[in-house]
Structures are given as structure tokens and as C-alpha cells.
């Protein structure tokens, strides 16, 4: 255990990994609640008369408040500290799903999804900032990878709920009530983190959390590399999560799968990420080459949607390709920000990045819902999905472009070491 200049030791590895476990528990709950909607799409259509645009709206409204609130969340983290912010966001992440489950009225369900989005995305920012505080200069990418694995286990469990909770899908409300139960884990994780951080501040030397006054002008001081990472973030997640919104319905109506198998196919992205993301994180900690790896991951996204739309290829193949990309890019992208932005501004930087990501998710969920309606996409007209699938492929192409520009920037005199920093060359 290293003793710092303050006279107090750094947290032991065991303590740091316990912190990782409990903040990941909070994200597990929020990820389940977010993805509980996708397997319900056709049930909502049949029992409540919702259209694809209505379903896209329910998913999009989750992202809408974060166009504004995650930056505020980042400021709160930098000003109030992690544990207080984490608790506020966890409460919102529980209240929102409870409201959605309480009514069949689209507008009130949307209010619940909106409140949930305000809490859950800021919860992501808080956990990301916490990991940067506890693991920067140590196993940062590996810790991010393990955190994403635990988080996406929530997605995996939700997307496979038609299999393990088949009885629940006879009524639209029961799966939402299950989501409320899982969202309670957000509160559990936040409470345990609060206790652990209070104890650690008395006994260990932790990375400092800024209490400096932050001004709007700070947002424009992050540099070109940061904005290229943000651009990659928006197109990458806009190509993944809006696809998952309609994936189960798409597989059922275009490829004739059952709801259970369609849910499993969609969850393959999560299954790959759960296994491979921490391994990719450990790998990139050792070799660097972050921008290059993000570019290679983006290449994988370009063909997969068209393969599913225009061919009868075995669906395991394109979903496995997406799974590799979904494992690789986040394992590299989020930790990269910690090397580009000063630690005192990380909460704000991650908040801004998440805000812009949610602009993409909001817009793309609505756009693809509209595209499916425009094409009259259903089991009788599978070609109605083609426009939406082309939109996703173009986003993959843009991801390659932004990752290429990032690599060019980082290989020049203004680089931050994304291509060179390894565990043997810590900043």
C-alpha cells in the first residue's frame, strides 16, 4: 500500500474493487429499467394501440432531458461531490420507472421515462467520474470495462426477460413492475458508495474532487481531441441503442423469430460486451493505440445493418460483429477522456459528452420510429425497415471518419498520449 505525501495510504486494491462492485450495482439496475421497453414493443402495440413512433417517443423522451441536465449533473458532481450527487441521481432513477409502471396513458408514461432519464444518465456520469477518481493511473480502462460488463448485465437480463419471465408478458404492466424492482438497486448502490467514500476520506488519500467555480467558458477549453471523442460517441451510440429499441420487433417481423429468440439476439450485444469489454480494457491499458482501435471498431458497424435488412444471413454473424464493436469502442472511448481533460473538470466533461450523446439518442429514436412508420414496416412489409437500417449504416461510416481524425490529431504535436500511454507509461 503506497503512502502519499499527506501521510495517509492510498486505498487498497480490495477497497477500490469493492467500490467498483457497488457503483456497478447501481448501473445494473438503471440499465435493466432502460432496456425493459424493447421486448415489450409489440405488446404495447397490441394492448395499448401504440405505434412505432409512440414507442420511439417513449425511448427518446428518456434522452431528451439529458440534452440539458447531464451537464448540470456534471457541475453538481464537481461542486457537491460524488456521494451526494450519486444519491440524488439514484432516487430519480427509481421514481421514474415507478411512474411509468403506474399508468397506461402515453403522456404520463413518458413523464416517468423523462424523470428516469434525468437520473439515470447523470448516474452514469457520476459513476464514470468516480471510477476516474479511484482508478486513474492504475487499472483505469480495465475498471471501466468491468463496470460496463456489470452494467450491461442489466441490459442482458432485461432483453432476455421474455425467456425467464415469460408469464409476465401476458400484460404490459408486469414487465414494467419488474423493472421498478430492479431500479431499486440504484438506491442500494448509492447508499453503500456513500458509506464507503465517507470511511475512505477519513482513512485514505483519495484523488481530489474539484470545488472550483466552473463557468460556461470551460466547456470550450477541452480541445480538439475531446470534441472528436464526443463526435464519435454521438454517432456510435446512435447506431446501437435506437436499433435495440426496435430490434426484437424487427427480428420477429423481418426474420420470423420468436420474441424470446429476438430478445436473445438483441442481448448478444450485451453478452459480448460483458465478456470482452474488460478484456479490451486490459489490452488497451497495455498497448495504447486508442484512436486506432476506435476506428477499427467503427468499421465493423458499417455492413451489419444492411446484412440484416437485405440478406437471410445467419443473424448470429452480424450481431457478433456488432457485439465486438460494442465491446471495443466504449472500453477505449470513456477512459480516453480522463487523459484528455484535467481531473478537476472530469464531471463537467463527462456530463457534456453524455448530453451530446443523448441529443443523438433522442433524435435517432424519433427518426427511426418515423422511418418505420413512413415505410409501413411490419411483418407484411419487411422492406419498410430498409430506410432505418441505412440510417444506422451511415452512422457507422461517420464513426470511422471521426476516429480517423482523432488518430491524426493524437499522432501530431497536440496529442495527449492516447496512442502511446500504457500501464508502463502512466501520466
Give 252-281 pLDDT, tens digit per residue: 999 999 988 998 998 888 788 778 877 887
Lookup result for grid cell 424493447: 38
Residues in contact with 124: Cβ distance below 8 Å, sequence separation at least 6, in sequence order: 27, 30, 354
pLDDT of residue 284: 80
Q: What is the mean pLDDT of residues 76-99?
A: 87
pLDDT of residue 214: 45
Most confident of 37-41, 71-75, 300-304: 300-304
| Least confident window among 152-166, 255-269, 300-314, 409-423 | 409-423
CATH architecture designation of domain 13-410: Up-down Bundle (1.20)
Phi first, then psi: give them for residue 378, nearest 5 degrees. -165, -175
pLDDT of residue 211: 36
Answer whether residue 33 shows pLDDT above 60. Answer: yes
Q: What is the mean pLDDT of residues 234-244?
A: 91
pLDDT of residue 409: 84
| Least confident window among 9-23, 27-41, 93-107 | 9-23
Average pLDDT over the chain reads 84
Secondary structure (3-state) at 384: helix
Q: In terms of pLDDT, which residue wins out, 302 or 41? A: 302
pLDDT tens figures, 283-325: 887 777 787 888 888 999 999 999 999 998 999 999 999 999 9
| Rg of the Cα atoms in the chain | 21
Task: Give the span between the Cα atoms of 165 and 167, in whole angstroms.
Answer: 5
Q: What is the mean pLDDT of residues 406-423?
A: 71
| Least confident window among 74-78, 94-98, 382-386 | 74-78
Answer whether residue 210 shows pLDDT above 80. Answer: no
* Four-point Cα dihedral 28, 30, 32, 34, nearest 10: -150
pLDDT of residue 7: 59
| Least confident window among 3-7, 33-37, 86-90, 177-181 | 3-7
- pLDDT band per the 50, 70, 90 thresholds, residue 94: very high
Burial class (CB within 10 angstroms; exposed 0-12, middle 13-18, buried 19+) of 47? middle
Q: Which helix (H) or strand (E) holds 387?
A: helix 386-410
Phi first, then psi: give them for residue 275, nearest 5 degrees. -85, -45
Amino acid at each position: 500500500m503506497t503512502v502519499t505525501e499527506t501521510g495517509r495510504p492510498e486505498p487498497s486494491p480490495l477497497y477500490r474493487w469493492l467500490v467498483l462492485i457497488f457503483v456497478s450495482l447501481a448501473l445494473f439496475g438503471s440499465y435493466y429499467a432502460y432496456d425493459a421497453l424493447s421486448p415489450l414493443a409489440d405488446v404495447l402495440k397490441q394492448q395499448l394501440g401504440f405505434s412505432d413512433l409512440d414507442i420511439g417517443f417513449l425511448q427518446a423522451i428518456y434522452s431528451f432531458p439529458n440534452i440539458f441536465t447531464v451537464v448540470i449533473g456534471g457541475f453538481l458532481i464537481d461542486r457537491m461531490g460524488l456521494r451526494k450527487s450519486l444519491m440524488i441521481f439514484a432516487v430519480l432513477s427509481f421514481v421514474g420507472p415507478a411512474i411509468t409502471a403506474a399508468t397506461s396513458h402515453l403522456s404520463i408514461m413518458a413523464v416517468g421515462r423523462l424523470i428516469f432519464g434525468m437520473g439515470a444518465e447523470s448516474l452514469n456520469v457520476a459513476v464514470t467520474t468516480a471510477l476516474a477518481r479511484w482508478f486513474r493511473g492504475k487499472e483505469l480502462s480495465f475498471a471501466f470495462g468491468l463496470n460496463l460488463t456489470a452494467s450491461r448485465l442489466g441490459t442482458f437480463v432485461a432483453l432476455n426477460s421474455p425467456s425467464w419471465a415469460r408469464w409476465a408478458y401476458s400484460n404490459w404492466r408486469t414487465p414494467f413492475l419488474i423493472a421498478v424492482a430492479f431500479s431499486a438497486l440504484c438506491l442500494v448502490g448509492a447508499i453503500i458508495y456513500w458509506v464507503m467514500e465517507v470511511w475512505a476520506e477519513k482513512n485514505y488519500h483519495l484523488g481530489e474532487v474539484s470545488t472550483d467555480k466552473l463557468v460556461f467558458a470551460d466547456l470550450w477549453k477541452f480541445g480538439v481531441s475531446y470534441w472528436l471523442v464526443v463526435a464519435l460517441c454521438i454517432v456510435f451510440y446512435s447506431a446501437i441503442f435506437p436499433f435495440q429499441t426496435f430490434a426484437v420487433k424487427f427480428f420477429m417481423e423481418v426474420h420470423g423469430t420468436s420474441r424470446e429468440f429476438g430478445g436473445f439476439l438483441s442481448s448478444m450485444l450485451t453478452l459480448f460486451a460483458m465478456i470482452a469489454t474488460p478484456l479490451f480494457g486490459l489490452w488497451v491499458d497495455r498497448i495504447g493505440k486508442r484512436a486506432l482501435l476506435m476506428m477499427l471498431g467503427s468499421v465493423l458497424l458499417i455492413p451489419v445493418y444492411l446484412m440484416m435488412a437485405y440478406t437471410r444471413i445467419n443473424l448470429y454473424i452480424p450481431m457478433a460483429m456488432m457485439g465486438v464493436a460494442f465491446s471495443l469502442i466504449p472500453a477505449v472511448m470513456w477512459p480516453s477522456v480522463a487523459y484528455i481533460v484535467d481531473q478537476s473538470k472530469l464531471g463537467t466533461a463527462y456530463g457534456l459528452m453524455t448530453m451530446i450523446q443523448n441529443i443523438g439518442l433522442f433524435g435517432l429514436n424519433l427518426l427511426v420510429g418515423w422511418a418505420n412508420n413512413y415505410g409501413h414496416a411490419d411483418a407484411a412489409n419487411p422492406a419498410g425497415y430498409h430506410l432505418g437500417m441505412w440510417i444506422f449504416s451511415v452512422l457507422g461510416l461517420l464513426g470511422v471518419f471521426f476516429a480517423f481524425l482523432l488518430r491524426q490529431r493524437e499522432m501530431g504535436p497536440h496529442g495527449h498520449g492516447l496512442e502511446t500511454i500504457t500501464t508502463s507509461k502512466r501520466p
